[in-house]
Amino acid sequence: MTEGYDSIIEYMRGIGARLEFDRRYPGRKMVEQIAISDKIIRFKAIIPMDDGSIELFQCYRVQHSDTLGPYKGGTRLHPTVNMEEVKALATLMTLKTALAGVPFGGAKGGICVDPRKISVNELERLIRKYTHRLLPEIGPNVDIPAPDVNSGEREMAWMYDEYRKSRESARGVVTGKPLELGGSHGRREATGMGVSIVLLHTLRDLNIHKPTVAIEGFGAVGSHAALDLHGKGLKVVAVSDSKGCVFNPAGLDIVELDAYRASGGTVTGFAGGESIGSIHDADADVFIPCALGLSVNESNVGRVRAKLIVEGANAPVTMEAEKTLTARGVAVVPDILANAGGVIVSYYEWAQNREGLYWDLETVRSRLYNTITEAYTSVTRHAREHGVTMREAAYRLAMDRIARAMAARGAQ
């Protein structure tokens, strides 16, 4: 689950009022133009199972805005996926691409399924059916899916292959593909590395030295963030996944933990740390939630000890919880900045697919560093100049860019 769609829209309305959109764009209803989704797609996928039975799966794709470029957003596989969540995530994606300065709009897709409870063959049939039903709606210049929770290179390969059966130009239809199918170096770890880059900038600006770090979620985002931070000498003292949490006040050996997780599928039982009840109870200076949304909420915000929270997941800190944290002097780096590394390198992959010219890993990482650093600098400068939180600064910059683009296009 993630922050409620209505809460995000209400927050955007407040930003629009403070930016004086009604005065600057009279009669345009600019906030509503930015906030309301362009298209909502919902359908069922009927899949034959391995035992000969039939199962139905609810599927979604929300195309939120293409003002700044083709729709762009991940495909989430989770049993809690629902329309309100997908709408909220698509809205956040629009803001994220605008803030990062990549030429995309925002979208999000999802299938209500627990991929751990079906076979690989069943999952492939489901992904292919989902893609086939979306053929009229997606394309390299229209809407470009990507990985999200419980989806990755394998699922993107299936989507690409299903799409190419019916379209001549297919390579750029999805990002996050395997290298063999036109994927980009650095895409797999891009979101986690972006989190790491933003955190290191923030630590410098807040004058926090030698912090301890706790990371919720050890999947595609959390593991790569942990590995990068560990490699740069930061002490990661706690890591959790869906099955438990391990803690070591002297610091976890993240390389060994990553190998242990790869062999057993979980961080629990790792000999280099002790088990604790919840990541929220870990004594650490920095907390990086990289799992699902709503991780820090009104019920547990009082337990969070961190001085700084960097949102690796989408909307892991509720807006009500953030008010409490802000009053306590805890800084929160918002998701639309902190986890933008994935869509930035997705843009690089898309551009490489279009050019037919591919970059090495060093080039990708250098460009990622420059792009996300530029976004970070813009947000922190705006926050400082206007006396607002980093979240408000990020939303203001993103919404202003979208509004200016809409106005430049004239009456619609």
Neighbouring C-beta atoms of residue 233, cutoff 10 Å: 8
Q: Please indicate whether residue 108 is annotated as part of the active site.
A: yes
Which of 155, 145, 156, 68 lies closest to 107, judged by CA?
145
Phi and psi (nearest 5°) for 254?
Answer: -70, -35
Tokens of 405: 């683009």
- CA-based torsion, 233, 234, 240, 241: positive or negative: negative
Q: At what angle do helices 361-386 and 190-206 cross, to 10 degrees?
A: 40
Q: What does the chain come to in residues?
A: 412
Beta strands in 91-162 (DSSP E): 106-112, 143-147
Residue whose token pair is 């006040």: 249
Residue type at position 199: L
Dist. CA 371–CA 66, nearest whole Å: 21
Residue type at position 86: V
Residue type at position 117: K
* Catalytic one of 72, 108, 177, 235: 108
Cα angle 337, 25, 20 (rounded to 5 degrees) comes to 60
Contacts of 319 (CB under 8 A, 6+ apart): 3, 7, 11
Residues with a known catalytic role: 108
